[in-house]
Structure 1
Amino acid sequence: MGTVKETLECPVCQDFFTDPVTLPCGHDFCLTCIQAVWETGGSDEGPSFCPECQIFLHSDVTLEINTSLQTKVKDFAANRPSTTEPWTTTPSSATKSSSTIRCDHCIETPSVAIRTCLTCDASLCQAHALLHQQRSALREHTVVEVTRDPLSLKCREHRDELKLFCMEERVPVCCLCVLVGMHKDHKVFQLHEACADFKTSAADFKERISDKYSRIRVVLDGDERLMMQIIEAEETYMIEWLEAQRGHMEAQIREIDSLRASRKPLLHEEVELRFLQYSVLAQESLTTGRHYWEVIVQEKPYWLVGVTTGPVDKGDAPSQSSSSLGVNNTSWCIYHGDGQYLACHDTQEKQLSVGKRCTEPLYPMLNPCIDVIGLNTQPLTMFWIKDHWDGHVNTEGAKE
């Protein structure tokens, strides 16, 4: 059945083939039409299928131009104006006639066909389709949804029904293909059995995928809970550590405040304790007797303690410079530097030995020395001894 014109039309666009390609199942389509169908059908990585027979094809199927069919289309188009066959109709009438399929068994008034019998190669209206079901001789016929081209659902080589499915080539085949054709000795199944098997495999595959993703979700949920627990534990630890640090800092602040409070009365005591950060020269001279000071040098690596007979300015206050202490014949000092104690007088350094007794008035002088890269920042601390030594001291150091 079907005219020459219908065999040259694409089942998708209902127009003449443009760059026709032939699928492994034997059906022809325009290259752009079949590509559009497959792109609309889903992912490029999924299985392809034939829009006519609905069989699945290999995902790596190659689409090659059918040059023979393309030549037929061109020849038909070139000879179309001079032909007188019934299918030479205008485009509008061709489109209109192709949109409706009539029953082949209705003689006087053809009815609209709803089924196609592949065994009879005939389109059937509702009444004749019912007749096929009721007659025992026709019950074995293969009746499908109405189609304009029944041959498209048959083997193109043997024009027989595609009742078998080749498991090796994964295409529907006819009995002759298996017996004497290209699929001889191939493993085949009944088409309905293969369809049921594919449905079962698809259901199993879907179930496995669902189970796999369910397990993945369980693992991800477990990882998420574990990470949240780790984050919460780290947060708790950091809060406790910060609280401990704050408590430690507060304790240090309280200790500093306590030390400051305890030092404040000492600073306000009258000459009980003096901190010397700069050179100090006494205002009054000592003329007779023995005199005593206690000076706390702490951990200072450098300091000077001595006396001088130096000159007096207009205010009767000595102006002797600390830098000249011990380097002239009018001053003596004890100097500590680099772990050594030296007695200095008149530019001479001796081991705690003063050469002669001075008969002139002496001015005590204390010098904490300069800061040396942060190693001499502590002050000299001097105590004032309230009990004067009015008597003499014997050779054993006892007060008389």
Structure 2
Amino acid sequence: MASAKTSCTEDNLLCSICLDVFRNPVSTRCGHNFCRTCITKFWDKKQKYNCPICNHLFQTRPYLQVNTLLSEMAAQCRTSVRVKVQPCVEPAEVPCDVCTGTQLKAVKSCLVCLISYCQTHLEPHQRVAGLKKHRLVEPTDRLEDRMCKKHNQLLELFCMNDQVCVCQICTETDHRFHHAVPLNVEYEVKMAKLGKMEAEVQQMVQERKQKIEEIKDTVKRSKADAAREIAGSVQVLTALMHQIEKCQEDLNQMVKERLKDTEKQAEDLIKELEQEIEDLTNKSSKVKPLSHTEDHFHFLQAFRSLTDPPPTRDWTTVEVRPPSYVGTLRRSLDQLEETLNMEMKKLCDAELKSVQQYEVDVTLDPDTAHPRLILSKDGKLVRDGVVEKEVPGNPKRFTKYIHVLTRQSFSAG
């Protein structure tokens, strides 16, 4: 029994602000006791003077006198009282607004008192009937931002017309003709839009990544096409020996320049796409944390800056066209035609003299002649008629290549 009595006496001698045995205890008109230094420092931070325990508001700052009896009891008990240590506030946590000296971590914030409380100072809100009606939320800093600056009322409604948080008095004055809904209602709507926005951002990121792959693939194919074109030209031109070495060099240079232009265009587009991906990713990094918040006020305040996605280009019609090499070799060869004709004539004359020793009397077969070819009646001459004529169908006839065979054949010489 004596132990229980001592414990009760010790509990009654603890200051609810510093959680230590009273030092120069003073009493407020609402009947609560505090260390004189603790309550003085507490009121020094406030514009209104209220009791930290019951939140009773005093019209003027009370004049405090030390409670002599309570001071003597505290002095006798101070040597035996040891206050249990509670966790102190970390840098990222919300501190208790009532604690003085070492601040403890707040466990709840009151939207009526606009004060954050640690577990000890929250006790009156869990015990006093009037305080039980106060709205408690998870610890939140800057509670004053939740109050209407004009009417000093809680911002608990959302104006659909102006897209801002308002108090009840605002809906009866400045916003009286506007449509207002509770914060939680608009929170659900905006949260749904946020989810859709996040999905759209992710889709835009994927589309741009896909476009990058398409551009890279185009460049890859362009390189392959260029390699094949160069290889083909080298194979043809090297057969012309030293006379066309200069032509080969010029052709390669032109192909490479076209490929370089294509690669430069692709590089610029990829840089632009990567920049848009970075912007969209930054947007997504802001959207994701917001999608998990349950703080209606913070969500709606921050949502306005996330409504519109970053400015991006419409990439649906953007493409990198591979350079065309059609006719490149032909044009190069045309430039050599005049020179080559002379060399070819020399070659033909030489070849003719060479083959004349193997001369054979042959006759052209009209059943194999392409429809454009015109044969002489004796089958010894043939020329290109340019226009295809109607000829009897024959499985031996050339239709793809402008060729004609002879009736006779030989295998050597």
TM-score normalised per structure 1: 0.33
Structure with higher strand content: 1
TM-score normalised per structure 2: 0.32
- Which one has a bigger Cα radius of gyration? 1
Higher RCO (C-alpha 8 Å, min separation 6)? 1
Structure with higher helix content: 2
